[in-house]
Amino acid sequence: MRPPPVAEPQRYCGLYIYDFGEWTALGYTAEEIAILLESEAYRGGKVYKIVRARPDGYMELRGVAPERFQLEGGMFFNRSELAAAQRDWADLVAWAERQPPPCRAVVHLADRGANGGPGRYVTALIYPAEYDDEMGSWLLAADYRGGDTAEGGISHVTNYYEQQKQILQRQQLWSRSAIPSRSADQVLRSVRQAVQR
């Protein structure tokens, strides 16, 4: 697979390349890749994320399993005391109001009950799994220090959904993407364009 040459390759960091087999197209957002993977005609392609790019055109790519676009990732900040967990939740929501996250997400403050152990209270941040890197960077930019302990990943989301818990507070977070995604119709009409943006 050979990505098409582009002017200013650094602009494409964080976007995706889709290898259709017979041709390759570059410059898709995660939402646009999901559209291609759901389409009957193009679901068999290979997906690569552009991790780094240099002015000379060299691009560092990371292969992404198609299933990842159907999963949720998450970060869970555990506290033994309710007041500390409430501050974690409020800090995260306040940061999202000042600096929207890179993708849509939901934040829960949950009580796992007395059997929840030392992490009885949890601030759960759940989002599309493909945004793990971006969400980590977003939290670093906030200097977020929630939880006595923290854990994350796809399996933790599954575990969280299966646990007995009472959700005390919830907040939907909306992103303001620097690169808006196109409609399914626009994406599917332009698949033969080597450079999507």
Angle at 46 between CA 40 and CA 48, to 5 degrees: 130
- Per-residue pLDDT tens digits for 64-106: 998 888 899 999 999 999 999 999 999 999 999 999 998 889 9
With a cut of 90, say whether residue 116 has pLDDT above it: no
| Residues of each domain in the chain carrying CATH 3.30.70 | 71-173
The mean pLDDT of the chain is: 91
pTM of the model: 0.80
**71-173 placed in CATH 3.30.70:** yes
The whole-number pLDDT of residue 176 equals 72
Query: Please, where are the H alpha helices in the chain?
Result: 30-38, 82-98, 132-142, 154-162, 184-189
- Per-residue pLDDT tens digits for 21-44: 999 999 999 889 999 999 999 988
Secondary structure (DSSP) of 114-133 = GGGGGG-EEEEEEEEGGGHH
Amino acid at 83: A
CB within 8 Å of 82: residues ≥ 6 apart: 111, 121
